[in-house]
Amino acid sequence: MWDALEDVGRREKITVSALCTWIERIKGEESSLTSAIRVFLLEYALAAATDDGHSAAGHGRLAQEIKHHRRASVKGAGGKA
């Protein structure tokens, strides 16, 4: 989480402390600061995500990867895939 905050701070040219203070000010009363930071980081990443960015990061192959690992597990257990 701290690495992600540092990345956002670097991109936005703001200190982690200032960023956390801002998140503290805008969070709801029922939310903890840790929870609010996690939500902020997720929303920040989602807002920056594009189809091109996902493709460059290798996203879109998760289902294929899961199937591959499932077959490898079955083979490793002596079963047929």
| pTM for the full predicted model | 0.64
Phi and psi (nearest 5°) for 56? -65, -30
At 44-53, the pLDDT tens digits run 998 888 888 7
What sign does the CA torsion over 35, 37, 5, 17 have? negative
At 8-34, the pLDDT tens digits run 999 999 999 999 999 999 998 899 999
